């Protein structure tokens, strides 16, 4: 969230996105350019400087060239100064930080005359350490007299922590630190909390699903501890553009929050292109053709080049043309592969430019990231491959072009990443490169879903019992919970407390509920998940390579699994679920592994149902039983070397799901014979999972699915898609609410795919536990079309 300089100008002649796009689409690559959309320029809406801002704060801002405000900055700053909780939801590089820094810095300066020098304090929360460090550099750059700011996180030296608690006015940290340190040790923070005036929550759109539910519970705990010290801070939230930001922020904070959505910042025009990679042939990358033919369901012949490889080639073209660009990939491994491939291409044509390409992702040391950011600003780096770590507010706006290798998860993220392009006074270019995925395929063939629709609403469930229960236990350990506290945590809190008492976790006394154990309550909660984690340990050195949540460990790091970490390959020699450890040895065996599993589900109860003719659509609670039974070893070309059995326990997940049932006879009339139901339902389930992010802010890996030709609870063919988190994350409920839209785009995607029997772009799934068998693409289209014929006209 940069503080914009109003007088900034382009440092070189204007960038021409049309010429750059013409270069990318030259020759046999022309058919890959599927659509071009022009985003018009937006004029600035200026506002006067508020008279309540302290003169020293104004002088500091004026020293950086900021002497007037944009309309949304003024509106948000006025609301926060008046004590109203507020959320700013405006575009990338729209100066949201100034909207909260004006009231925060003014309060800190005015409070510096107190005997302790801290008449007011402020807490800044961001989802990443890098963003907090970036904001600290910005505050320190303003050099407002009397303001003492510091970052406080897991990397802060012990000797500095006490000084920060005792003397810093502005503490910049993350939710994990608040959960593990500030709240459990709130007595040490008492002087800071007693004067807490503002809590800033940056990039609040990131807090969705289970992560959002955890933050909602954490903020309620924070409010309760603040009240203990007589403080009632004002919450100021900043977000990328999301639908209904006021509702999202209100769910997070648990208090009414006023939204500010009118973006008053100027924006130059942007050319936004949709790009579909070419198909693969023995001779190499071929141009996209109308009918690539049948795709082998074994996965040996990909439908087209990967988005990572295609984006690497495009990035090399842009770097060669002197266009400063960033290419976003979805994973750390993808970022490294993209950067390596781009450098390899440049070494063949312009060797001196290979050093101008770098990777930027989580896992780098802070000084490495800062150096990369400086190299970008100075122009020493022309091409950067990055994860969404660069999406979250780090001050690297102003590039010429952005490539997006695969759908980033939401329209909000798409525009957030695309917004990294654009120099002051010049146009910019953004290119979305489709991956081999149903959603990506749909987007490049239906540009209206990107350019004709608002961004998504975020989903979270503050009342999720699997999330809320451990937070109630943590709250009781911080301060005994009283009857009057329960309203803050929602109507389900009382029942959860009774359950915690019955399990011996809490003890009920006349004055409230108390923590009844000797360990730390906060250690039983992982904010970024809803369960235990398994550590991956290198056998030779004992070094911890990383962690995987326990639910994913069965399929990702089982004994014999090939695991890639930061570009290095390891083989897991043992998975010990009792100790939560997977032991691995470094080395590339030359093959990859794919877990195979069996799944079934029990319907606990439907909360909502609707009838579409003979089809019944439901949303409710289910229990999903999954057991990883074996794994395949597969060569890079797709050949299977063998299948190896595993002895792992069955896992049961109680969660929320959307499901629908269909009579067998009715399906037969629609052209889906009884013998074809398993393949049709399985293919429809896969495609539905792939398209679900279009109607819910989910990722394919957030959700799961099961289909069956005859379910014992329904007595009918049943297809179910469920949230992959205990208690649910809100995604399945959103899909139920948009069921007609969801199934329509799913059917259209499968029907329009140019393969004959199914491919990764329509019905194959990279996470299928049954090896993508059986799948019947044509029967899935008939099944989905039959269901949609009974859709209500208003759906």
Confidence (pLDDT) at 365:
60
User: What's the whole-number mean pLDDT along residues 302-310?
Assistant: 79
Q: Measuring CA to CA, how many Å separate 736 from each of 247, 460, 461, 692, 729?
A: 20, 15, 16, 10, 13
Write down the mean pLDDT value for the chain. Answer: 87
Weakest mean pLDDT among 260-269, 366-375, 445-454: 366-375
* Residue 298: C-alpha distances to residues 293, 303, 555 (Å): 15, 12, 19
Which residue reads 């004026």 in tokens? 62
Mean pLDDT (whole number) for 248-266: 95
Q: What string of H, E and C letters represents the secondary structure of 560-626?
A: CCEEEECCEEEEEEEEECCCCEEEEEECCCCCEEEEEEEEEEEEEEEEEEEEECCEEEEEEEEEEEE
Tokens of 559: 């004994």
pLDDT tens per residue, range 187-227: 999 999 999 999 999 999 889 888 899 999 999 999 999 99
- pLDDT tens digits, one per residue of 131-163: 888 899 899 999 999 999 999 988 888 889 999
339 and 356 Cβ atoms separated by less than 8 Å: no
Cα separation, 445 vs 604, in Å, equals: 39
379 or 103: which leads in pLDDT:
103
- pLDDT class for 371, splitting at 50, 70, 90? confident
Whole-angstrom distance between the N-terminal and C-terminal Cα of the chain? 39
pLDDT at 605: 93
> Which of 141-150, 471-480, 498-507, 693-702 bottoms out in mean pLDDT, i.e. has the lowest?
693-702
Does the pLDDT of residue 672 top 80, yes or no?
yes
The pLDDT of residue 377 is above 90: no
Does residue 774 have a cis bond before it (omega within 30 degrees)? yes
**Burial environment of residue 510 by CB neighbours within 10 A (0 to 12, 13 to 18, 19 or more):** exposed
* Confidence at residue 695, expressed as pLDDT on a 0 to 100 scale: 84
- Calculate mean pLDDT across residues 780-789: 96
How do residues 432-447 score in pLDDT, each as one tens digit? Answer: 999 888 888 888 988 9
Write down the pTM of the prediction: 0.79
Which of 346-350, 636-640, 671-675, 744-748 is the least confident region?
Answer: 636-640
* Burial class for 126, CB neighbours closer than 10 Å (0-12, 13-18, 19+): buried
Measured between alpha carbons, how far is 711 from 715 in angstroms, rounded to an integer?
5
pLDDT at 378: 82
Q: Which residue has the higher pLDDT, 793 or 341?
A: 341
pLDDT band at residue 279 using 50, 70 and 90 as cut-offs: confident
Position with higher pLDDT, 550 vs 326: 326
R_g (Cα) of the chain, nearest Å = 27
Mean pLDDT of 345-355: 93
Task: Choose the weakest-confidence range: 195-209, 289-303, 461-475, 531-545.
Answer: 289-303
Choose the most confident range, by mean pLDDT, from 260-264, 369-373, 533-537, 789-793. 260-264
Output the pLDDT for position 19. Answer: 94
Q: How far apart are CA 428 and CA 401, in angstroms?
A: 6
pLDDT one-digit tens code per residue, 676-692: 999 999 999 999 998 98
Per-residue pLDDT at 671 exceeds 80: yes
User: CA–CA distance from 507 to each of 359, 473, 480, 515, 600 (Å)?
Assistant: 52, 10, 10, 6, 38
Handedness of CA 174, 180, 184, 186 (dihedral sign): negative
pLDDT at 3: 38
Instruction: Compute the average pLDDT of residues 700-709.
Output: 86
Mean pLDDT of all residues in 768-783: 88
**3-state DSSP call for residue 724?**
coil
pLDDT for residue 235 is more than 50? yes
**DSSP tally for the chain: helices H, then strands E:** 25, 31
Instruction: Check pLDDT > 90 for residue 30.
Output: yes
pLDDT tier at 654, thresholds 50, 70, 90: very high
pLDDT at 289 over 50: no
91-95, 101-105, 147-151: lowest mean pLDDT where? 91-95
The mean per-residue pLDDT over the stretch 601-614 comes to: 94
Left, alpha or beta for 772 (phi > 0: left; psi -120 to 50: alpha)? Answer: left
What pLDDT digit, counting tens, does each position of 114-136 carry? Answer: 888 899 999 999 988 878 888 99
Query: Quick one: average pLDDT of 454-476?
Result: 87
Taking the CB of residue 448, how many other CB atoms lie within 10 A of it?
A: 10
pLDDT digits (tens, 9 = 90+) for 11-24: 345 789 999 999 99
Vertex 23 angle, CA 21 and 28, to 5°: 105
pLDDT over 90 percentage in the chain: 59
Q: What is the DSSP letter of 42?
A: B
């Amino acid at each position: 969230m940069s503080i914009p300089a109003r007088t900034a100008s382009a440092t070189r002649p204007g960038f021409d996105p049309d010429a750059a796009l013409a270069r990318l689409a030259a020759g046999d690559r022309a058919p890959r350019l599927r659509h071009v959309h022009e985003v018009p320029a937006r004029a600035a809406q200026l506002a006067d400087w508020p008279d309540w801002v302290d003169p020293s704060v104004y002088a500091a801002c004026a020293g950086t060239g900021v002497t007037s405000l944009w309309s949304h900055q003024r509106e948000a700053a006025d609301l926060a100064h008046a004590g109203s909780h507020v959320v700013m939801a405006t575009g990338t590089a729209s100066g949201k930080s100034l909207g909260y820094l004006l009231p925060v810095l003014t309060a800190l300066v005015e409070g510096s005359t107190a005997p302790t020098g801290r008449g007011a304090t402020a807490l800044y929360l961001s989802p990443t350490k890098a963003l907090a460090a970036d904001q600290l550099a910005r505050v320190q750059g303003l050099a407002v007299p009397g303001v003492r700011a510091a970052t406080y996180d897991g990397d802060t030296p012990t000797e500095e922590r006490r000084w920060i608690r005792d003397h810093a006015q502005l503490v910049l940290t993350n939710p994990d630190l608040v959960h593990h340190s500030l709240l459990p040790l709130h007595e040490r923070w008492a002087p800071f909390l007693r004067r807490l005036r503002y809590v800033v929550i940056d990039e609040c759109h990131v807090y969705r699903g289970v992560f959002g539910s955890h933050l909602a519970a954490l903020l309620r705990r924070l409010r309760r501890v603040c009240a203990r010290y007589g403080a009632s801070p004002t919450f100021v939230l900043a977000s990328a553009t999301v639908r209904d930001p006021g509702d999202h922020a209100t769910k997070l904070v648990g208090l009414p929050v006023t939204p500010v959505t009118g973006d008053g910042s100027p924006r130059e025009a942007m050319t936004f292109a949709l790009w579909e990679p070419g198909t693969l042939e023995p001779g190499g990358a071929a141009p996209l053709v109308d009918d690539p033919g049948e795709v082998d369901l074994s996965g040996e012949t990909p439908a087209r080049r990967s988005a990572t490889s295609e984006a690497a080639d495009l990035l090399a073209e842009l770097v060669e043309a002197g266009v400063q660009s960033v290419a976003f990939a979805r994973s750390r491994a993808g970022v490294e592969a993209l950067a390596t491939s781009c450098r390899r291409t440049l070494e063949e044509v312009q060797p001196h430019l290979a050093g101008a390409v770098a990777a930027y992702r989580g896992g780098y040391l802070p000084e490495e990231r800062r150096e990369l950011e400086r190299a970008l600003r100075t122009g020493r780096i022309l091409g950067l491959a990055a994860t969404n770590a660069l999406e979250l507010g780090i001050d690297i706006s102003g590039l010429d072009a952005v490539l997006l290798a695969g759908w980033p998860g939401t329209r909000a993220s798409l525009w957030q990443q695309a917004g990294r392009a654009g120099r002051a006074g010049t146009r910019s270019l953004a290119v979305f490169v489709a991956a081999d995925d149903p959603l990506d395929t749909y987007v490049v063939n239906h540009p209206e879903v990107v350019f004709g629709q608002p961004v998504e609403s975020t989903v979270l469930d503050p009342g999720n019992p699997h999330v809320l229960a451990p937070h109630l236990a943590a709250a009781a350990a911080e301060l005994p919970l009283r009857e009057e506290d329960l309203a803050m945590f929602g109507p389900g809190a009382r029942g959860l407390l009774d359950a915690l008492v019955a399990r011996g976790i809490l003890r009920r006394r006349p004055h409230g509920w108390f923590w009844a154990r000797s360990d730390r309550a906060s250690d039983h909660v992982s904010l970024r998940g809803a369960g235990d984690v398994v550590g991956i340990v290198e056998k030779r050195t004992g070094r911890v390579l990383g962690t995987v949540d326990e639910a994913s460990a069965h399929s990702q790091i089982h004994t014999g699994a090939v695991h890639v970490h930061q570009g290095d390959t390891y083989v897991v020699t043992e998975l010990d679920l009792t100790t939560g450890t997977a032991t691995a040895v470094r080395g590339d065996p030359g093959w990859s592994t794919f877990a195979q599993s069996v799944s079934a589900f029990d319907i606990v109860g439907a909360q909502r149902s609707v009838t579409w003719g003979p089809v019944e659509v439901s949303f409710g609670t289910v229990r999903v039983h999954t057991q990883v039974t074996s794994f395949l070893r597969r060569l890079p070309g797709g050949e299977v070397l063998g299948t190896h059995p595993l002895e792992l326990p069955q896992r049961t997940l109680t969660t929320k799901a959307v499901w629908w049932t269909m009579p067998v006879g009715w399906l037969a009339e629609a052209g889906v014979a009884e013998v074809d139901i398993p393949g049709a339902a399985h293919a429809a389930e896969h495609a539905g999972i792939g398209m679900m992010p279009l109607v819910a802010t989910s990722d394919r890996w957030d959700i799961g699915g099961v289909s069956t030709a005859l379910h014992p609870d329904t007595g009918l063919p049943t297809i179910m898609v469920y949230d992959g988190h205990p208690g649910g994350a809100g995604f399945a409920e959103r899909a139920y609410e948009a069921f007609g839209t969801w199934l329509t785009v799913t059917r259209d995607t499968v029907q329009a795919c140019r393969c004959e029997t199914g491919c990764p772009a329509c019905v194959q799934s990279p996470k299928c536990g049954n090896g993508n068998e059986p799948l019947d693409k044509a029967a899935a289209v008939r099944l989905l079309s039959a269901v949609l014929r009974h859709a209500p006209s208003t759906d």
